[in-house]
């Protein structure tokens, strides 16, 4: 299984460092908040590949530590996945963001028709800075 990590947070050194520390476990990583970079990054998702997203977040958006134009709403992220990930993708999404489970519950129905086999997980409540997908629950 290939793993892609997206660190969608530029203004928190702790989140960025935690993502860098996790990079030895992934096949590809992207650090930044450029929407133009998403198609190339998400196009890597095929077969049983896993996607990990780390950032600040809540049940509606993920992104920077303060509201920012780069924040990604559930609808925007669903649209990016549907547009760019391989239609054969049947892996998993891990939302390592605060309230990622709540975000995952909103995301799953939006992508279910296109990616019926993709499992969506999220962190329950507040997260620590360190990425720990074993603590996520499935939506």
Reported as a single tens digit per residue, the pLDDT across 101-124 is 999 999 999 999 999 999 999 999
Mean pLDDT of the chain: 93
What is residue 69's predicted lDDT score, i.e. its pLDDT?
Answer: 63
- The two structure tokens encoding residue 105: 């519950």
Give me the sign of the Cα torsion angle 83, 90, 133, 110: positive
The torsion of the CA quartet 102, 118, 88, 39, rounded to 10 degrees, works out to 30
CATH architecture, range 3-138: 3-Layer(aba) Sandwich (3.40)
Q: Where are the domains of the chain?
A: 3-138
Give me the sign of the Cα torsion angle 132, 125, 91, 52: negative
Q: How many CB atoms lie within 10 A of CB 110?
A: 17
Mean pLDDT of 41-69: 90
């Amino acid at each position: 299984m290939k793993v892609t990590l997206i660190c969608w947070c530029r203004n928190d050194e702790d989140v960025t460092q935690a993502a860098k520390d996790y990079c030895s476990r992934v096949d590809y990583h992207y650090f930044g908040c450029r929407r133009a970079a998403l198609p190339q990054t998400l196009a890597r998702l095929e077969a049983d590949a896993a996607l990990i997203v780390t950032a600040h977040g809540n049940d509606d958006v993920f992104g920077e530590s303060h509201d920012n134009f780069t924040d990604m709403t559930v609808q925007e992220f669903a649209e990016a996945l549907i547009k760019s990930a391989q239609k054969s993708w049947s892996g998993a999404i891990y939302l390592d963001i605060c309230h990622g489970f709540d975000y995952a519950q909103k995301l799953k129905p939006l992508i279910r028709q296109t990616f019926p086999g993709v499992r969506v997980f999220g962190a329950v409540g507040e997260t620590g800075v360190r990425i720990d997908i074993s603590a996520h629950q499935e939506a």
